[in-house]
Structure 1
Amino acid sequence: MLSLFQNIIIRRTMLCLCAAVILWGGCGISDITAAQGSGLPVVNNSRVDSYSSSADIGAARKELYEQMSAATGIPWFRFAAVDQYERTIAKKSKPDSPATTRLTGITITPAVWSGPLNPNQGDTSPASISFFGGFGRDGSGDGLADPENDADVLYSVANHLLQYGDSANDFSIAIWEYYHNGRAAQRINQFAKLFEHFGRLDLSGNAFPLPLGNLYSYRSTWGTGRSWGGARIHEGTDLFAPQGMTVRSTCYGIVETKGWNRYGGWRIGIRDIENRYHYYAHLAGYDKSVSRGDIVTPGQTIGWVGSSGYGNPGTQGKFPPHLHYGIYRDRGIIEWAFDPYPLLKQWENKEYKALKNKKKVH
């Protein structure tokens, strides 16, 4: 997570640090045994290596969120949303780094956890961490504030959120104050909305963007050149189909953008729970039931194949009707496109297989 104290660290001088160290040494903070700030019930901690499957891990995560919700009054899906955002933007571990045993992916830097002026950046004493204005709290009841303990991390997040209130707007403000990043605040609110709506963590189902059949054709066109509007590459796959063919959502997600784009014409953008942005362009029109902020499911109609784009709003017919489908991944600061063709083939084949199995049953 981004530092809550970024500006403070920049402004503070070494003189303040020295004064704090002297004060800390003289007062014997490590011997203080004051109670935790809010006195809320504690939550048990678990290890990810205690479970044999991803389903079990997901169930354990949700149980942890619900326990923390019961302890703090913060809805479970808000903890889930923060954790999901952290895990979707996490950098790949180095090959020689040990595998994490934590259930959650929320990481807090030592300067934030222990306090920017704390001389012990590995501090786990709740009292001294609190003295130095650190983020860390003891949520497991073991007397330590451990940044590698899921219960402690979630309780610390809860402590931050509770300072702002319990409404949805308060939650948005608290997230902004933590990350100081509008993109992060938007994503976490989107994830919270999805988790709250479906009531579960597993939102992994997908669908092919067009109805299965022999009326469409596509191949990998990733990276081919485009000249209209300036030199650029093709960031997606073109699925050629008859004008007006149904276009479907490929995922569980939330409609993030809808409207005209001079390149993509009438287009819709949908954000899924893995922080991937699904881009559907050159549409002939939209399903009237789909608006920005709405939640969609795999296979749901969102619009129809067209030939809009390459000009001002309403421009049509500069190319054959087709669906341009692109997919982008958010890494916190930037969002980058990747080739959707392998996923499209995977979703198409999986859907064909499901249809065959359904016919066998009947």
Structure 2
Amino acid sequence: MTVRTFLIFGTLVFFFSSFFSARDVCAAESNPYEERMKLYKKVETVTHIPWYYLAAIDQYERNVRMVRRDLPKPDRAISIYIPPEVWVGLTNPNLEEEDPAIIQFFQGMGVDGDGDGKASLKSDEDVLYAFANYLLSYGVDHDNIKIGLWNYYHRDRTVGSIASYAKIYRHFGRIDLDTNVFPVPLNSNHSYRSTWGDARGWGGRRIHEGTDIFADYGVPVRATSYGIVEIKGWNKYGGWRIGIRDINNNYHYYAHLSGFAKGIEKGKIVEPGMVIGGVGSSGYGPPGTSGKFPPHLHYGMYKDNGKTEWSFDPYPHLVKWKRMERASLKKK
């Protein structure tokens, strides 16, 4: 081998080894789920607060911060937001205090979770450990954790949402649960268009809070996301309907069903594609009323921001999910 050949070969080896090393590093850095899960498990080991509760709290806070204008947008692996005055202590004059001893003196929430001698709001591990340490003062079991959450958030729906997320995470054993599908099978005969905000007259003047997907009677209706059934039963407007809360603080409303799938009950954990009922024409009257309009699925979406809940147009999401599901099926 000549010197020139050796140099070229060495350069190529260095290039490819550097390329694959950089690719591996980027892959690790680009997977936020793995990074978060490592932190949840690490803090669980120290505090015995179940990782799925830590994940649920973090996810709830991430959802809220994404839609609230009075809170900073999440920009770190852990999205739990603890106000500076709560972190350092309400009577502490220094809102940037990072000395754990001084913070403890002022009865602040901040602690040193990563062992660097500082209690920093800029440290994901410190923040996560601080919240876990707060819950630890109540206990590590389900009921006491819920008491701690209520005393922190002072809102029943928030506590309920976090408990639901925890149940979902525990059931699946992972946190990367962002897959969505279209609410009726793609091979079914169906049609839909954007009708959110249109006027509705039955029962008084109101707007249409959803998208109508017209399909044959009995066509399977599927859960569009991972979530948990919050409501099942009759509503005079929506007829037989189901409400499902997903891990992104979205409430999915399925109405005018012909009936419910076997095993679908309040508290049931669902996943994308799971059949929850069938297309029907129920509603606009007392229980059992049906046939006042053509069979269709009314699909609505609502967002909770930690203070209130509002309806938003599901049509763009339906278009996106349908496109993504088609692409996924083509790969199989």
TM-score (norm 1): 0.80
1:15-26 → structure 2 map (5 Å cutoff): none
> Does the 8 Å contact 1:264/1:310 carry over to 2?
yes
Q: 1:206–1:346: structure 2 CA closer, same or farther, 3 Å change rule?
A: same
Match of 1:74 among 46, 49, 53: 49
Matches of 2:68 and 2:152 in 1, distance apart?
Answer: 24
Matches of 1:152 and 1:232 in 2, distance apart?
Answer: 48
Residue number in structure 1 paired with 2:313: 339
Cα deviation, 1:75-98, whole Å, max 9, x if unaligned, reads 11111111000000004698xx9x
Residue number in structure 1 paired with 2:195: 221
Residue number in structure 2 paired with 1:230: 204
> Does the 8 Å contact 1:114/1:134 carry over to 2?
yes
Match of 2:238 among 257, 264, 276: 264
Matches of 1:134 and 1:289 in 2, distance apart?
Answer: 47
Matches of 2:282 and 2:181 in 1, distance apart?
Answer: 24
- Name the SS of the counterpart of 2:31 in structure 1: helix
- Name the SS of the counterpart of 1:90 in structure 2: helix
- Name the SS of the counterpart of 1:63 in structure 2: helix
Residue number in structure 1 paired with 2:222: 248
Matches of 2:147 and 2:188 in 1, distance apart?
Answer: 50
Residue number in structure 1 paired with 2:299: 325
Moved more, 318-327 or 207-216: 207-216
Per-residue deviation at 1:275?
1.1
Matches of 1:88 and 1:299 in 2, distance apart?
Answer: 23
Per-residue deviation at 1:356?
3.4
Q: 1:102–1:357: structure 2 CA closer, same or farther, 3 Å change rule?
A: closer
Cα deviation, 1:171-200, whole Å, max 9, x if unaligned, reads 111111111111110111111111111111
How many pairs were matched up?
Answer: 306
* Structure 2: gaps spanning 5 or more residues: 1-24
Which residue identity is paired with 1:324?
A: H
Per-residue deviation at 1:262?
1.4
Matches of 1:257 and 1:55 in 2, distance apart?
Answer: 36
Per-residue deviation at 1:249?
0.7
Q: 1:54–1:346: structure 2 CA closer, same or farther, 3 Å change rule?
A: farther
TM-score (norm 2): 0.87
Query: Does 2:35 match 1:60?
Result: yes
Cα deviation, 1:54-86, whole Å, max 9, x if unaligned, reads 752211111111111111111111111110000
Query: Does 2:147 match 1:167?
Result: no
Which residue identity is paired with 2:48?
A: G
Match of 1:84 among 42, 45, 59: 59
Matches of 2:29 and 2:209 in 1, distance apart?
Answer: 32
Per-residue deviation at 1:146?
1.0
Cα deviation, 1:122-167, whole Å, max 9, x if unaligned, reads 2212112112211111111122111121111111111111111111
Matches of 2:197 and 2:28 in 1, distance apart?
Answer: 37
Per-residue deviation at 1:203?
0.3
> Does the 8 Å contact 2:67/2:305 carry over to 1?
no
Match of 1:137 among 111, 116, 120: 111
- Name the SS of the counterpart of 2:92 in structure 1: coil
Q: 1:357–1:113: structure 2 CA closer, same or farther, 3 Å change rule?
A: closer
1:1-362 → structure 2 map (5 Å cutoff): 55-91=30-66, 102-358=76-332
Per-residue deviation at 1:51?
5.5
Q: 1:260–1:214: structure 2 CA closer, same or farther, 3 Å change rule?
A: closer
Per-residue deviation at 1:292?
0.6
Which residue identity is paired with 1:56?
A: N
Q: 1:227–1:101: structure 2 CA closer, same or farther, 3 Å change rule?
A: closer
- Name the SS of the counterpart of 1:209 in structure 2: coil
Q: 1:337–1:53: structure 2 CA closer, same or farther, 3 Å change rule?
A: farther
Q: 1:206–1:237: structure 2 CA closer, same or farther, 3 Å change rule?
A: same
Matches of 1:84 and 1:272 in 2, distance apart?
Answer: 11
> Does the 8 Å contact 1:51/1:57 carry over to 2?
no
Residue number in structure 2 paired with 1:21: none
> Does the 8 Å contact 1:65/1:79 carry over to 2?
yes
Residue number in structure 1 paired with 2:21: none
